[in-house]
Amino acid sequence: MASDGGRKQFWKRSGAKVPGSIQHVYGAQHPPFDPLLHGTLIKPGSKPPTTPVKLKKVSTFQEFESNTSDAWDLGDDDDELLAIAAENLNTEVVMETAHKVIQNHSKLQEQHKFQEEHQQEEKQVESTELTSIACGDNRLVKSVSEGHTSSSSDNASENSSMQRSQSLPQTSTLPLVSGVADFNTSVTPALTEREASRLDKFKQLLAGPNTNLEELRKLSWSGIPKRIRPIAWKLLSGYLPANVDRRESTLQRKRKEYFAFVEQYYDSRNDESHQDTYRQIHIDIPRMSPEVLRLQPKVTEIFERILFIWAIRHPASGYVQGINDLVTPFFVVFVCEYIEEEEVENFDVSSLPEEVLQNIEADSYWCMSKLLDGIQDNYTFAQPGIQKKVKMLEELVSRIDEQVHVHLDQHEVKYLQFAFRWMNNLLMREVPLRCTIRLWDTYQSEPEGFSHFHLYVCAAFLVRWRKEILEEKDFQELLIFLQNLPTVHWGNEEISVLLAEAYRLKFAFADAPNHYKK
């Protein structure tokens, strides 16, 4: 008896909350009540209770269990609740209400459609007005009011140059110091909710006195917002310190140091010992991408200085074809720090102040140097780093997609014939520049991203084209396809999928180097 009494006392319900949901959980197994589907539950002669029903006091575990429900249970409680709800509903009333809702919804849709058509007509009228007041130098003014104030093309050009000079930083350290504070003031297209949320996370991370680089790497792996990218790349590459107070002095010191190198070494480019190096740099620069940017004389001059100084200061490798491509992403990203144009490839770099151009040049040199420090064996004599990585790529592909590997082998296509450029130029010649920049966001967030992780990106990139590769039955056609892959329309979405697959491969093979060896 004592034990029975203790058991009853143990399972006696207390006044505190008990586990289990007392609210109904709707899902695939418990859909919301529909009187049309549950008409059999309606009791015609029943009336709703006039007084609340007093719950029976729970004293045993069985009674406790029957009075509680979990989201995973399929008990009869659901049917009881549906029946109670049905008692208060009338089918005719429900149907009448539903018809009214449908009619109101259709009216709202018609109104919305009419408003959209009206807005489109207004936009067309505005566009015709704008084209009618185009400037003499083939540029459109930004608004109708500006069009009325600009009486000639000279006035328009003066206004645009004045606006550009006002938007540029006055000192070499201004962009870095005010970079986080001025994010909201710069003109950018409307962001999606996800992009705005990510931008806020970056701003919060960079707002503190010391930036947590590990958190910055995690956040940057999925891509960096355009406005944040210049400072983020400088931090991730190790060019800038995490401490905010030290950044200004570091920038001044490193920029001064670079131009001291230029003053010391650049005049020797015509010496007999350095003539061949400078000549090769001069030949390679017109081959870089994008085309519009490389044709600007000011850009050519900057690139020649950067590459020549790096070659002189790194005699173990010197200048090697392919290094010229590695300057471009840094240069383009750092130019974006000072301009508002979306397409930097079409921007006239010479319109920037000389001090700004010097800052961009020095920053690009030091960040490129940091990158090359991790992959310098790619560019030493006989390029052993590239030879090793191409061999590892061949072994990796033979394990992850043997059919593609055998197909290439049967048609005598050697991996060096197409993958050498992938390693030498870090896929820059295979994808558009915008994709390279997005790719480098992740590379700089990964440990040994440019050397180790790049191998798995190349493997995922090759297997991405398995269908097209297996369809080609000729050596020449296969090689032409692999050297001219159709990626011209690629964007962030394709690169994100490629990086996700590369991460999966890395997770499977990176910590087991013998696993992908036959």
- Is residue 440 classed as helix, strand or coil in its secondary structure? helix
- In the chain, pLDDT over 70 holds for what percent of residues? 60
Q: How far apart are CA 314 and CA 369, in angstroms?
A: 10
Structure token pair of residue 270: 């015509």
Would you state the pLDDT for residue 373?
93
Find the length of the chain. 518
Q: Confirm if 341 and 347 have CB atoms less than 8 A apart.
A: yes
Residue for token digits 């009228």?
A: 125
Least confident of 42-56, 137-151, 208-222, 340-354: 137-151
Would you state the pLDDT for residue 136?
37
Residue for token digits 């920053």?
A: 363
Q: How far apart are CA 72 and CA 223, in angstroms?
A: 39
Would you state the pLDDT for residue 510?
75
Mean pLDDT of 14-23: 49
User: pLDDT class for 96, splitting at 50, 70, 90?
Assistant: low
Q: Reply yes or no on whether the pLDDT at 139 is more than 70.
A: no
- pLDDT by residue (tens digit) across 144-160? 333 333 334 444 444 44
- pLDDT by residue (tens digit) across 451-472? 999 999 999 999 999 999 999 9
- Is residue 235 classed as helix, strand or coil in its secondary structure? helix
Would you state the pLDDT for residue 429?
92
Least confident of 48-62, 254-268, 405-419, 487-501: 48-62
Mean pLDDT of 249-261: 97
Least confident of 52-66, 327-341, 489-503: 52-66
Q: Confirm if 374 and 381 have CB atoms less than 8 A apart.
A: no
What's the Cα-to-Cα distance from 508 to each of 106, 217, 406, rounded to whole Å?
Answer: 53, 21, 22
Residue 210, beta-bridge partner list: 243
Would you state the pLDDT for residue 183?
38
Residue type, 36: L
Least confident of 1-15, 72-86, 123-137, 211-225: 123-137
**CA angle in degrees (0–180, nearest 5) for 36-40-44:** 105
DSSP string, 15-56: SS--SS-SS---SSSSPPP-TTT-GGG--TT----SSPPPPP
Mean pLDDT of 79-91: 48
Mean pLDDT of 76-83: 48
Mean pLDDT of all residues in the chain?
Answer: 76
Would you state the pLDDT for residue 511?
72
User: pLDDT class for 474, splitting at 50, 70, 90?
Assistant: very high
Q: Is the peptide bond before 290 cis (omega within 30 degrees of 0)?
A: yes
User: pLDDT class for 137, splitting at 50, 70, 90?
Assistant: very low
- Is residue 142 classed as helix, strand or coil in its secondary structure? coil
